[in-house]
Structure 1
Amino acid sequence: MRVAQGGATLVELVITIVIISVAIAGVVGAFSLIAGRSADPLNQTRAVQLAQLYMDEIISRKYDDATPPGGVPKYSGSCNIGPEGSEARSNFNDVDDYHGTSDSPPRDAEAILTGYPGFTVDVAVSCAGGDVGLSSSEAKRIDLIVTAPGSQVFAFSAYRANF
């Protein structure tokens, strides 16, 4: 009596290799897509932190150069934008002095901020009281554009009222 031997034929082995190759190619493709986007959440978090640092610095300043300490009485002049003369960043004392600021790498009033290589921050300040139901000279809009490595752009805005 003859015993049948069990085994795989050459055709079965070739078909198995092809199926496994297709499956591995799909998995490797998915991993490469995920790996390519793994820095996105980190850059988004850093962009938000950087915008918060800049907004905190800007909003903590006086409304206008002519605003008295403490803000009382309220400034009643026209809305002026831009630094007074050749004022340096370390001497910015009111919100609109930051208009036109473009930092790459990002910095505060004193030094370069570490941990943000490849980031750029652009600041624009405009008279925008009408946007919030006030007269034009009673509020300023601060627009921050943070550009992360890879050319991701994040836009942030805040208003600073004259009070």
Structure 2
Amino acid sequence: MRQLCLTKPRQQGATLVELVMTIVIIGVAIAGVVGAFSLITGRSADPLNQTRAVALAQLYMDEILARNYDESSKVGGGKVPAAQVDCTSPGADGETRAGYDDVDDYHAITNAIPEDGEGNPLPGYDNFRISITVSCAGDDISEMSLANADAKRIDITITDPSNATYQFSAYRGNF
């Protein structure tokens, strides 16, 4: 004859304390992961802004360097005599953006919305700002023994939507 076992079967599962501990541990781990993701997503636009700032600076620099050295430059080119180069008052001389014809005219651009060569706002660059300074700087290039009126330095500062600034410089020679 068979004997019946009167012991209770073992229960399986987790206690309430074990469940609470598991929830706390998973919660702490998720908080760390979410914090890392928020840091990464906060900086995800930086490379895009840097690339766009470089492209914008290149656009302006190409346009400026294609212009005449000075207001008194000849149409076909040629060196402007140092006595005729005005290093004291660069600026647009009342010209509109579409009429900028020499390097000095761009000195008037300060904290402006980027525009194309005709003065129209560039699409997609609404939150960028650009500032340009132009100065006579032949003395900066000492190896070539240039007079101050033989070179102009063009400094472009781009400010992106996150207020990071990027600076670019080039020289335009008097030839």
**Same fold flag (TM > 0.5):** yes
The answer (yes or no) to whether the contact 1:104–1:118 under 8 Å persists in 2 is no
- Are 1:86 and 2:94 matched, yes or no? yes
- Are 1:56 and 2:59 matched, yes or no? no
Residue 34 of structure 2 is matched in structure 1 by 28
Q: Which residues in structure 2 correspond to 1:68-83 (within 5 Å)?
A: 68-72=74-78, 74-78=79-83, 79-80=85-86, 81-83=89-91
The answer (yes or no) to whether the contact 1:106–1:121 under 8 Å persists in 2 is yes
Letter in 2 for 1:33: L
Q: CA RMSD in A?
A: 1.6
Residue 107 of structure 2 is matched in structure 1 by 99
The CA deviation at 1:55 is 0.6
Letter in 2 for 1:143: D
The CA deviation at 1:103 is 5.5
The CA deviation at 1:34 is 1.2
Q: Larger C-alpha radius of gyration, 1 or 2? A: 2
Residue 122 of structure 2 is matched in structure 1 by 113
Letter in 1 for 2:30: I
The CA deviation at 1:54 is 0.7
Tell me how far apart the structure 2 counterparts of residues 62 and 117 of structure 1 sit (CA, whole Å).
29
1:51-74 superposed Cα distances (whole Å, 9 cap, x missing partner): 1111111010011111212322x1
2:48 pairs with 27, 32, 42, which one?
Answer: 42
Residue 102 of structure 1 aligns to a residue in which SS? coil
Letter in 1 for 2:151: A
| TM-score between the two structures when normalised by the length of structure 2 | 0.85
- Are 1:145 and 2:157 matched, yes or no? yes
Tell me how far apart the structure 1 counterparts of residues 138 and 82 of structure 2 sit (CA, whole Å).
13
Tell me how far apart the structure 2 counterparts of residues 88 and 77 of structure 1 sit (CA, whole Å).
26
Residue 22 of structure 2 is matched in structure 1 by 16
The answer (yes or no) to whether the contact 1:83–1:92 under 8 Å persists in 2 is no
Tell me how far apart the structure 2 counterparts of residues 37 and 105 of structure 1 sit (CA, whole Å).
23
Residue 146 of structure 1 aligns to a residue in which SS? strand
Structure 1: gaps (5+ residues): none
Residue 82 of structure 2 aligns to a residue in which SS? coil
| TM-score between the two structures when normalised by the length of structure 1 | 0.91
